[in-house]
Structure 1
Amino acid sequence: MYIKRIVLAVVLLGLVACGVFAYKVYSAFFLPNTQFNNEEAFVYVSSRANLDEVVQQLEPLLKDVETFRATAARKGYAGNIKGGKYRILKGMSNNDVVNTLRSANLPVKVSFNNQETIHDLAQRVAQQLEADSTSLVNAFSDPEFLAGKGLDLENALTLYLPNSYEFFWNTGAVDFRERMVKEYDRFWNADRLAKAKALKLAPEEVIALASIVHKETAKVDERPKVAGLYLNRIRRGMLLQADPTVIYAIKKETGNFDTVIKRVLYRDLELDSPYNTYKYPGVPPGPITMPDISAIDAVLNAEKHNYLYMVANVQDFGYHMFAENLAQHNRNKAQYIRWINAQDIKR
């Protein structure tokens, strides 16, 4: 009888111990383990992260880091860490968190517009994706890649159309570039290619001309008229004589793209640069900025008229006064010169 009691006591103790152990395992896996007040929090896991680095990111969000480590170890997460952006919800258990980190990589919005160089573009993208600016510049400027696309360093920027795109945060530089090529090819559909051909311009030339149109006017409704003016000049073999190209040439010559130039001087027109459209005919060898899609479509759907000259309209700021002949243009220009002198703008 005494032995039976001992055995029963041992069995009961074992059951209690098993129950305690089971409860601890259950708690570690399935009870809530978050400690933030918002409904959600986000973590960014590097593609090269190890478990310690992931835990370091999660530590401010978890009540008990050690139970998370134990759960991650039991589920084999340390050997299957995937980079990306992940949403951690309030009240998640360790099991939920591990499952999220294994399979719920979230896309991010990547936006860029009107950068003037591939370095500027790389810096902008690097602020939004894991890829660093150096790897992006290398991908954008890879000679073999550019040659395969019939491009060079001067017009490499044409491949990147300003917009917002969805990417996974851990997208690499080459994958980003290849996605942009697909977007570029999709943009240049049969209709746009036919319109470019009718203008006797290659797509990269359309974008280079669109970049001038973009810089000349921020008014979307005026862009087809400005585009028509430049196309008229090209057809007549006239120099484009676009001030924004001179400003770009100065920046490129000095290497300082942060400089602000409000007024082009006569001496600037003598700068020997293929981007100086006062000296060199046709469109420049590459875009002077990344033009908006509205500017590209303005070139492809340019307004038909006989204008050859334009100058800023000081009575309707943002717009321009247009002229068909030099005499009319000189009258318009005199108004602008009087106004700009009154503003005492030296440069």
Structure 2
Amino acid sequence: MARSAGGTTRLLMVFLLILSCAALLLGIWLVESVPSQAAEVFGPPAPHLGLMQRWNLSLRLLLAQDALTRPADPDGVERKFTVELGEAVDAVAFRMEDEGLIRSSEAFRNFLIYAGLDTGLQAGEYQLSPAWSAVELAYRLQDATPMQIPFVVLAGWRAEEIAAALPTSGLTIAPDAFLRAVKRPAQVDLPEELRGVKRLEGFLYPGTYELKRDTDVNSLLALLTAEFAAQMDADWLAAVEAHGLTLEEAVILASIIEREAVVDEEAPLIASVFHNRLQAGMRLESDPTVQYALGWQETAGTWWKNPLTLDDLRAESLYNTYRNTGLPPGPICNPGQAALQAAAYPAESPYYYFRARCDGSGRHAFAVTFDEHLQNACP
């Protein structure tokens, strides 16, 4: 009986030893396997995490894998989300869950700590979508660079000046690609009213546009021309036609008015001078048309040479309205609302001449005859 009891004890000890070894092996497997599986799904952990912290977070992430990798709303759209300066990670996570951007604030916070992104959370405004996973959202919050940026087109800019603003705008559109598309807009989805236009100079409506950083050249031009088309209501088109102008001719005239009128309220009176000259068969003799023809001035660093010399006024170009009667072959800039309205609704006046006043106000002195025009010259 004693030997039988001893044998049972030995068997129990062997069993316990085997069980202990199995538990040890299982523990080793869990210690190695859980972080390995987490790394496969969520990427490597932050290097500063200790062994137990890394294992604990890895297990938590695996258990919450669905909440972290599936979007809260696959059909959701982007919306503005602001991270305040000094706002705690927990507070950001709770707000994101409340606003339906993520499924679980706890899982989101654990991932931020696991990936070492909790310390890189930046204050700022973001465009975030619930159609993105929590993992993607975590990385988006590391860059406070706005997803949308303002892009400004000033009234009176020619296409080259718009192109020159692109490199510092935050957009990825190359100036050369922009100018090529302006000259040959075959790939641009133009508004129906502009589909016969061969060049887009003059039809790029000035204003401030909120654009996504990845906006391409064709999308930008489609937006600018769509905004231009939105300004052309039936009354404006009828007024243009009543003056015997086509749409493109009205834009050409507006572009000249834009460059001549320093003060918007003078635009209708300046327009009346050009309308009067066109009806009388006189040359427009507008300095900005010569400036456009001369192009870039390396020494002065401008597209608009000023002052012009007598030799400049003799420049051989179809755009030179000192040499050619009627309108130039195309717009010389991209006019704004005041100039477009003035081209269609000029003031009624007897004037055929105008020149800048000598007081530096930007206003003009108008004259009926050339002799009066000469008398308006500065001393």
1:37 is displaced (CA, Å) by 10
8 A Cα contact 1:118 1:157, kept in partner: yes
Q: Tell me the residue number matched to 1:123.
A: 164
CA distance in 1, matches of 2:238, 2:271: 17
**1:231 has 2:231 as partner:** no
Q: Tell me the residue number matched to 1:134.
A: 176
**1:167 has 2:211 as partner:** yes
Matches within 5 A, 1:1-347: 3=15, 7=19, 10=23, 14=27, 17=31, 21-26=55-60, 38=85, 68=115, 96-98=137-139, 106-114=147-155, 116-128=157-169, 129-142=171-184, 144=186, 149-153=195-199, 156-251=200-295, 258=302, 261-315=305-359, 317-333=361-377, 336=378, 338=379
Unaligned runs of 5+ in 2: 1-11, 35-51, 66-82, 88-110, 118-124, 129-133
8 A Cα contact 1:227 1:303, kept in partner: yes
8 A Cα contact 1:233 1:240, kept in partner: yes
Q: Tell me the residue number matched to 1:53.
A: none
Point out which structure has higher relative CO (alpha carbons under 8 A, 6+ apart): 1
Per the normalisation by structure 2, the TM-score is 0.62
Q: Tell me the residue number matched to 1:58.
A: none
Q: Deviation string for 1:98-125 (max 9, x for gaps)?
A: 4779xxx933222112465433322323
Unaligned runs of 5+ in 1: 31-35, 41-63, 71-84, 339-347
The residue identity in structure 2 corresponding to 1:319 is R
Q: Deviation string for 1:51-83 (max 9, x for gaps)?
A: xxxxxxxxxxxxx9995499xxxxxxxxxxxxx
CA distance in 2, matches of 1:298, 1:192: 10
> For the aligned residues, what is the CA RMSD?
4.3
Q: Tell me the residue number matched to 2:92.
A: none
8 A Cα contact 1:228 1:303, kept in partner: yes
Question: Closer, same or farther in 2 for the Cα pair 1:244/1:170, shift >3 Å?
Answer: same
3-state SS of 1:158 partner: coil
Per the normalisation by structure 1, the TM-score is 0.67
1:197 is displaced (CA, Å) by 1.1
Percent identical pairs in the alignment equals: 24
8 A Cα contact 1:251 1:257, kept in partner: no
8 A Cα contact 2:152 2:208, kept in partner: yes
8 A Cα contact 1:211 1:295, kept in partner: yes
1:160 is displaced (CA, Å) by 0.6
1:170 is displaced (CA, Å) by 0.4
1:254 is displaced (CA, Å) by 9.3
Question: Closer, same or farther in 2 for the Cα pair 1:190/1:11, shift >3 Å?
Answer: farther
- Greater radius of gyration (CA): 2
1:320 is displaced (CA, Å) by 0.9
8 A Cα contact 1:307 1:324, kept in partner: yes
CA distance in 2, matches of 1:328, 1:303: 20
